[in-house]
Amino acid sequence: MMDMRGIEALGWPTISMILLLVVYFSIRIAGKAGYNPFLGLLILVPPVNLILVWLFALSEWPVLKDAEGTGSNSAQGE
């Protein structure tokens, strides 16, 4: 029979690494979208993480609003 303590010991470091990667990438995505990067930490709060995903998916990102604004200004200047 297989000793389950070995699997459990392997599981916690793996889960911790996955959790750290999820938090890291959510912080990077929030920052690149133009939001406060620490908004990505809300991915750790269970009901709020679903709202956060909806916010990112359905709202217009601030960085895109800025890009549209600067694009129209540069076109008018030429």
Token pair for residue 26?
């959510």
Q: Each residue of 62-77: b (16+ CB within 10 Å) or e?
A: eeeeeeeeeeeeeeee
CA distance 53 to 68: 23
Residue 74, pLDDT > 60, answer: no
Query: What pLDDT is attached to residue 78?
Result: 41
pLDDT digits (tens, 9 = 90+) for 11-36: 888 888 989 999 999 999 899 888 99
Domain locations in the chain?
19-77
Q: At what angle do helices 4-33 and 46-58 cross, to 10 degrees?
A: 40
Query: What pLDDT is attached to residue 53?
Result: 87
Global confidence as pTM: 0.67
